[in-house]
Amino acid sequence: MRPFEYARAGEASEAVSLGGRFIAGGTNLLDLMKLQVETPDKLVDITRLPMRDIEATDDGGLRIGALVTNSDLAADKRVRDDYPVLSRALLAGASGQLRNKATTGGNLLQRTRCGYFYETSQPCNKREPGSGCGAIGGFNRIHAILGTSDKCIATHPSDMAVAMQALEASVETLKADGSTRTIPLIEFHRLPGDTPEIETVLEKGELITAVRLPKSLGGTQIYRKVRDRASYAFALVSVAAIVKMKGGEIEWARLAFGGLAHKPWRDTAVEDVLKGQAPSRALFDRAADALLAEAKGHGENDFKIPLARRTLVSVLAEATQGA
């Protein structure tokens, strides 16, 4: 870990004016700093900022402060009642200890768990642009099958963000110049393309202040995570599904996927296949066809293609059960 300057901010405006990397839960940043994958020269401690509340919004939704811990968010009664897919996703992630520390804002900014990203002696375009990709042709069991590039096949490891993607969340930020903006989550994370080191649309020094959830639309909400251990492991494939039935048909569905791509994946073409249709195995398979039309395995992770199909079909069957 390189020496760094430590500063503690009392207000958000102070935090963005201090200029440095923000640290809150620190569960991923410190992990990476110990290995010198991350080497900030200044850390701004934002844990004292007043961003730990979950408030009801005028439009019937929720505004989640960026510093709300994963535990507090999962346990919040309104989240449990109206956004159960989010509670479930949070509870499927990490461990009790990590969830008590990790924050809402930080969770969105988690970096990939790719072994070649973590090993500083290996090429990695994300860690060291232009150095190459160790995972392509290497051990890539946990890697992406959708939206990859020849520069990077890493996945985003978050569960929370997958559920938020299905919930059509948006991210509130404060920029260094004091201006604020709201970014739909669907636009927040980027695909790797030629610049896998740029993972979100945040500008330098821009602080996440809150995540907004629109008013709950109800429906059946399911989060299914498939992994190599029964707990405490990252998703190989995960599916967040919100399905609304009407008169024996699927009125609408919102689907997001983890473990498949560089970002929490949402593809409305998959949802369009389902819309207004009577549930059936054939329909679910067509939805999976739409999801996986462009899917590409890299050897060790080829199994994710059938695994994603089967998991999606099974989740849709469960979500439309009894219709």
Partner 1 sequence: MITLTINGEEHRLDVDPRTSLLDACRDHLGLTGSKKGCDHGQCGACTMLVNGRRINSCLTLAVMHEGDEITTVEGLGEPGNLHPMQAAFLEHDGFQCGYCTPGQVVSAVGMLGEVADGWPSNASKDLQNGAELSGEEIRERMSGNLCRCSAYPNIVDAIETAAKTTKEPA
Partner 2 sequence: MNKHVMDKAIGETRLDRNTQGIIGKGVDRYEGPLKVSGRATYAYENLAGEDVAYGFVVPAPIGRGAIKSVDTSKAESAPGVLAVISGDKILRASSQPMAPAAQTIDGEVFHYNQPLAIVIAESFEAARHASHLVTADYEPKQGRYDVKARETVRKPDAMPMEPVNERGDFEKAFAEAEVQFDETYTTPSYHAAAMEPHASVAKWDGDRLTVWSSCQLLETNVKQIAAGVGLDVSKVRLHSPYIGGGFGSKLGIGPDAVFASLGAMTVGKPVKIALTRQNVFQQTSRRGETVQRVRFGATKEGKITCFAHETDTTNSPGNGFFEPSGISSVFLYPGKDRRIAHTIVETDALMTSAVRAPGEATGMLATESALDELADRLGIDPIDLRRMNEPKVNPQDDTPFSSRMLLECIEEGAGRFGWGDRPQKPGTRREGEWLIGMGMSSASRKNSLMKSSAEIEMSPDGRATVRTSMTDIGTGTYTILQQIAAEMLGLPLDQVDVELGDTALPASSGSGGSWGANSAGSSVFVAAEAMIAELAKRLDVDAETLTLKDGHAIAGNRQIPFSEILKGEAITVLGQIEPGKTDEETHQASYGAHFAEVAVNVVTGETRVRRLLTVGAAGRILNHKTATSQCYGGQIWGIGYALEEELVIDTRNGLMVNHDLAEYHVPVHADVPKLDVVLLEERDTHASPLAGKGIGELAIAGVGAAINNAIYNATGVRVRDYPVTMDKLLSQLPDDYLTAA
| Contact positions vs partner 1 (CB under 8 A) | 1, 3-6, 8, 23, 25-27, 30-31, 34, 43, 45, 47, 71, 74-75, 80-81, 84, 87-88, 91-92, 94-98, 100-101, 229-232
Per CB under 8 A, does 2 bind partner 2? yes
Alpha-carbon span 313 to 280, nearest angstrom: 9
Using CB under 8 A, which of 59, 130, 218, 230 touches partner 2?
Answer: 230
Q: Shortest approach of partner 1 to residue 91 CB, angstroms?
A: 4
- Which of partner 2, partner 1, none binds 119 (CB below 5-8 Å, type-dependent)? partner 2
Q: Shortest approach of partner 2 to residue 90 CB, angstroms?
A: 16
Alpha-carbon span 231 to 91, nearest angstrom: 10
Q: Report 248-277 residues binding partner 2 (CB under 8 A).
A: none
Q: Report 21-80 residues binding partner 2 (CB under 8 A).
A: 34-36
Per CB under 8 A, does 231 bind partner 2? yes
DSSP, res 259? S
Helices (H), the chain: 12-18, 29-34, 70-75, 77-82, 84-92, 96-101, 104-108, 115-118, 160-166, 185-188, 268-274, 281-292, 304-319
- Which of partner 1, partner 2, none binds 293 (CB below 5-8 Å, type-dependent)? none
Tokens 């609408």 -> residue: 252
Handedness of CA 142, 148, 154, 155 (dihedral sign): negative
Q: Report 280-309 residues binding partner 2 (CB under 8 A).
A: 281, 302-303, 306-307
Q: Binding segment for partner 2 among 62-70, 133-141, 205-213, 248-256 (CB under 8 A)?
A: 133-141
Q: Shortest approach of partner 2 to residue 56 CB, angstroms?
A: 34
Q: Binding segment for partner 2 among 20-28, 48-56, 172-180, 227-235 (CB under 8 A)?
A: 227-235
| DSSP sequence for 26-83 | -TTHHHHHHTTSS--SEEEE-TTSS---EEE-TTS-EEEETT-BHHHHHH-HHHHHH-
DSSP, res 202? P
- Which of partner 2, partner 1, none binds 296 (CB below 5-8 Å, type-dependent)? none
Cα 288 to chain centroid distance, Å, stands at: 21
As a 3-state breakdown, the chain gives helix, strand, coil percent values, each rounded to 5, of 30, 20, 50
C-beta closer to partner 1: residue 76 or 267: 76
Among 224, 231, 230, 244, smallest CA distance to 313 is for: 224
Alpha-carbon distances of 211 from 102, 130, 157, 283, rounded to whole Å:
15, 33, 18, 34
Per CB under 8 A, does 314 bind partner 2? yes
Among 254, 172, 260, smallest CA distance to 218 is for: 254
Q: Which amino acid is at 130?
A: G
Q: Shortest approach of partner 2 to residue 13 CB, angstroms?
A: 31
- Which of partner 1, partner 2, none binds 303 (CB below 5-8 Å, type-dependent)? partner 2
Binding site for partner 2 (CB under 8 A): 1-3, 34-36, 113, 115-116, 118-122, 134, 137-139, 141-142, 226-234, 236-237, 281, 302-303, 306-307, 310-311, 313-314, 317
